[in-house]
Amino acid sequence: MTNRTRRTKLRAPAFAVSVLAATALALTGCSSGTSTETSSGAGGDGGGETIGVALIVKTTTNPFFVAMQDGAKAAAATEGVDLTLAAGKEDGDEDTQVKAIEDAIARGDKGILITPNGPGVLDAISKARDAGLYVIALDTVPDPADAVDITFATDNFLAGKLIGEWTAGQLDGKKATIALLDLFNDKIVTVDYDRDQGFLTGMGIDTADPKKNGDEAATGTYSGGAGGDYEIVGNEATNGAEDGGLTAMETLLARNPDINVVYTINEPAAYGAYQALQAAGKTDVLLVSVDGGCAGVQYVADGIIGATSQQYPVKMAELGVKAIAELAKTGTKPEVSDGLDFFNTGVALVTDKAVDGVDSISTADASGICWG
């Protein structure tokens, strides 16, 4: 638990995160969402040598990764980088990502930016690094973290902790009957367990193995907010998709129709869960998530989601492209944030129902800095 305590202390004030993110997010444009695409930047590195960079995202069905592609394109144009885009067919598709890594090696790219779909890509990443490519993970810190050269990502544990603290405050001592809608059930990735375990920690629920979802006590007391009793109905995988969120929510509601707290891995899964809750006539449920995209911020404004932790994918991509370009031009390597094993790109809690003692920004503020 020492590492998690350190992460909490590193939280920046929400307004500072917002100002920092606004500059990067201004670069957001449109993307075709194609699985493989090449975008040539102008200028080069001044010495005539091509700076080839591959951006390999999890999937283009999630707006988060489309925004990341847009940010990378804008940065590539500025930095004189030849950018190749690739994506998995769905969240968790490791094979397509491995093929894209192999293609980057064959092209002789200078570096790779990747949002890893799971541990199955690590061997290919190792081969890329052995071949001299600089590999940066975005959004998802691999396990182990040193499987890549550096990661630019949200502090996902903190993102989960913020929505957990908010939920406990909103409950005001009422019993929490909790559904946990996670990412996977067939592979372990940091973004999945960090957000889940962060949420429970924010609620004030003791967790067991910090790298494993679903092994905490099924019943007990939470200490967040005014404190109270809790019951965890279960954990279900969503694959980070709307249909997965709907199915997972239906499954857990069938198990216990009294659910009044729903944690979701991301906003597509949250919207799927919302549809299932509506169909079941459940209107008094605290639904929380992580992403903070423009659609997600609107969900909060409309009362569909109670609170979400806003991330900055455009900034992740922009920093990644710039880092590889700078390395190619000057040999300068990026460094991790103090006390962390990755570079923290910021997070802010978005809600229109603020809780005392939990830093947050309103949907009006968040809509001005959300990614498109």
Higher pLDDT, 50 or 228: 228
- Greatest Cα pair distance, the chain, in angstroms, is 65
Domain membership of residue 129 (yes or no) is yes
Say if residue 247 is in the same domain as residue 302.
Answer: yes
Token pair listed for 38: 């090449």
Q: Which amino acid is at 32?
A: S
Q: Is residue 32's pLDDT more than 50?
A: no
pLDDT, mean of residues 219-246: 98
Beta bridge partners of 230: 176, 220
List, for residues 81-116, the tens digit of each pLDDT value. 999 999 999 999 999 999 999 999 999 999 999 999
pTM: 0.86
Task: Give me 266's structure tokens.
Answer: 């991301």
Backbone phi, psi, residue 357, to 5°: 90, -5
Q: For 287-330, write each residue's pLDDT tens digit.
A: 999 999 999 999 999 999 999 999 999 999 999 999 999 999 99
Same domain assignment for residues 101 and 148: yes
Task: Looking at the structure, tell me whether residues 185 and 289 fall in a common domain.
Answer: yes
Q: Judge if 148 and 162 occupy the same domain.
A: no
Statement to judge: residues 42 and 53 lie in one domain: yes
Residue 172 pLDDT > 80: yes
Residues 297 and 329 in one domain: no
Domain containing residue 193:
156-310+350-367
Confidence (pLDDT) at 371: 87
Tell me the pLDDT tens digit for each residue of 357-370. Answer: 999 999 999 999 99
- Verify that 190 and 251 share a domain, yes or no: yes
278: which residues sit within 8 A by CB, 6+ positions away?
A: none
Same domain, 43 and 79: yes
Which CATH number covers residue 244? Answer: 3.40.50.2300
In a domain, 17, yes or no: no
pLDDT value at position 49? 79
pLDDT above 70 as % of the chain: 87
- 14: pLDDT strictly greater than 60: no
- Helix segments in the chain, DSSP class H: 2-9, 14-25, 63-79, 94-107, 122-130, 156-171, 190-203, 242-255, 267-279, 294-301, 313-330, 363-367
Dihedral pair phi/psi, residue 143, rounded to 5°: -125, 105
Q: By the 8 A CB rule, do 61 and 45 touch?
A: no
